[in-house]
Amino acid sequence: MGQNEDEAATIAQLHSIRQSIDNIDAALVHMLAERFKFTQQVGTLKAVHGLPAADPEREREQIQRLRALAEESHLDPAFAEKFLNFIIAEVIHHHERIATESTK
């Protein structure tokens, strides 16, 4: 195989891999949207019943669970924890907004 053919094969392989990454990114966005639909329901329940937006014990349990799943999947547990902490912060923000809106 000549250099041009080798380069073309590499570019085709790169394109294929990137297409797979794009598909996974789309799936992640859809999964996050579904997750946030459920956390919105939790926020509404908390607001209606006067419960706090944050649940530190639940958050600790989720972080431990996600770190274990990350280890099983050969993903850096620290990265998984940072990712979940980012999601948790956003969920708490949503819950606080829901609580504020429900008291108006």
- Provide mean pLDDT across the span 3-25: 95
**25-68: pLDDT as tens digits:** 999 999 999 999 999 999 999 999 999 999 999 999 999 999 99
What's 1's DSSP letter? -
pLDDT at 3 over 90: no
**60-69: pLDDT as tens digits:** 999 999 999 9
Dihedral sign computed on CA atoms, order 19, 80, 55, 98: negative
Rounded-to-integer distance, Cα 40 and Cα 51, Å: 14
* Alpha helix (H) residue ranges in the chain: 3-48, 56-72, 77-102
The domain ranges of the chain are 3-102
Residue among 59, 64, 103, 67 at smallest CA distance from 85: 59
16 vs 104: which has the higher pLDDT = 16
Assign domain 3-102 to its CATH architecture.
Up-down Bundle (1.20)
Write down the pTM of the prediction.
0.80
Rounded-to-integer distance, Cα 85 and Cα 77, Å: 12
